[in-house]
A and B are shown apart, each in its own frame.
Chain A
């Protein structure tokens, strides 16, 4: 399919074991400016199939603003810049496999055919031993009704699997662990 296009795409390769020299940014974890009043932390641990934390990984997040809009020309409602809001976070995992992202809650986002998606954050996971990224989503535990109506969540038939996409409340925000394998393997998406 790709080869019928004028330019076939470039294949993915792993970030390898030395991503920590190239990818971290000092302000990476701040999807919103430090000190944003409504800001909170999303923290979690990246686990491998043996339940061991992954210390050579990287987590990236992308989300709508609190009104459910994007500062991007392909948002058909028009790009909306919002001071102090980047919407993108990046954090390498530490020796305990932990990452943390400082952000605010996104608003609901239009879905296909007039549906509404519950507030969510798209997540990319990179690590040594992963030949391309995996993608998952963070949903919010207090959004019971919106989550129940969310077309993407509803596409996950198994209750236990679906629950891996919902963050847990934590003292300074939320906890969202990512398990690459195992009983509670996180749901990953084909994007």
Chain B
């Protein structure tokens, strides 16, 4: 409940709580969670003004080639050129316009341009692996990049991450903030990947997989994948008692 410009009390609807969709913070299969999850129960935070607002970023943050990871260097990167596009919307199906989408990924061989990534796979001098885009008025985004490779890690014996692109999203409110990963259809590495397996519901896992999109493939240029991202929608306008009970 808050007061509007005319001095009336007006309820501010909160956002859907969708915890059942997300992985738990404590997931033994992903070893690094052991020392990095809170052990005390989380304290319920009602969605008040700080939570239903958020940074509306973007204006001036995007360079002309930020969405095209194949054109950020003098030459072209190695690998299969792909278009990754889709819509950002909320769980009521409403598009989220003009919101910042950030991505980062490994190169075609599966190596990140990061000092901590030292596995024996060459860096590509023509690939940084970082992109940014703003959604348009219909909530649509579009990147051009190369198909990232799978890479090994040390979580368990012979552990490999399925090919993926890291995504960071803001939406329109603090509650909608989401960082996630997009995967590719039919990846044979899913079965042994704890990040994939940490998502409790099979259907929810599938929502991290993009769709091969032949219609948007550019002939003699690039394959295409479509991936829609759904952020938490609004709760129905609450009754006052419900706000207080939170």
A35 at the interface (CB under 8 A from B): no
Residues of B within 8 A of A152 (CB): 45-46
A113, B3: Cα distance in complex, Å? 9
Known contacts A5-B91, A112-B244, A18 near B104 by CB under 8 Å: yes
Contacts of B232 in A (CB 8 A): 9
Taken together as a complex, chains A and B put the C-alpha atoms of A10 and B2 apart, in Å, by 30
Chain B residues with Cβ under 8 A from A54's Cβ? 36
Q: Is the CB of B174 within 8 A of A62?
A: yes
**Chain B window 40-63, contacts with chain A (Cβ cutoff 8 Å), 1 for yes, 0 for no:** 101111111111111111000100
A181/B44 contact (C-beta < 8 A), A6-B92, A130-B33, A132-B22 known: no
Question: Does A185 make an interface contact (CB < 8 A)?
Answer: yes
Chain A positions within 8 Å of B16 at CB level: 1-2, 5, 9
Complex: chain A residue closest to B55, CB-CB: A88
B52 contacts which chain A residues (CB < 8 A)? 74
- Whether A128 contacts B50 by the Cβ 8 Å rule is no
How far apart sit A74 and B49, CA to CA, in the bound complex (Å)? 8
A14, B36: Cα distance in complex, Å: 12
Interface centre among A16, A52, A62, A186 (most CB of B within 10 A): A16
Q: How long is the Cα–Cα vector from A91 to B154 in the complex, in angstroms? A: 27
Q: A21-B112, A122-B51, A180-B37 are in contact. Are A9 and B9 (CB under 8 A)?
A: no
What residue in chain B is nearest A58 (Cβ atoms)?
B179
Task: Determine whether the beta carbon of A134 is less than 8 Å from that of B25.
Answer: yes
- Kindly specify which of A64-72, A140-148, A167-175 makes contact with the partner chain: A64-72
Contacts of B55 in A (CB 8 A): 62, 86-88
A contacts with B, residue count (CB < 8 A) = 77
A122 to B177, CA, bound (A): 12
User: What residues of A have a CB within 8 angstroms of the CB of B3 in the complex?
Assistant: 76-77, 110
Counting CB contacts under 8 A, is B73 at the interface? no
Whether the Cβ atoms of B195 and A14 lie closer than 8 Å is yes
B118 CB to closest chain A CB (Å) equals 12
- Judge whether B172 and A13 touch: CB under 8 Å: no
Q: Which residues of B contact A33 (CB under 8 A)?
A: none
Query: Scoring A residues 108 to 120 as 1 if CB is less than 8 Å from chain B, else 0, what string do you get?
Result: 0111111001001
Contacts A2-B21, A133-B177; A13 near B50 (Cβ below 8 A): no
Contact A6-B93, Cβ < 8 Å, known A20-B114, A49-B35, A113-B244 = yes
Contact with B along A10-36 (1 / 0, CB 8 A): 111111111111110100000000000
- CB pair A7 B230 closer than 8 Å: yes
User: Cβ of A181 and Cβ of B39 under 8 Å apart?
Assistant: yes
A-B contact pairs, 26 of them (CB 8 A): A1-B17, A5-B233, A9-B232, A10-B180, A13-B23, A14-B30, A14-B179, A18-B106, A18-B114, A18-B117, A21-B129, A64-B50, A76-B5, A77-B3, A112-B1, A112-B244, A112-B246, A120-B50, A128-B32, A129-B34, A131-B22, A131-B198, A135-B45, A190-B19, A190-B42, A191-B47
The 7 closest A-B pairs by CB, nearest first: A22-B104, A129-B32, A88-B55, A49-B35, A189-B45, A72-B53, A129-B36
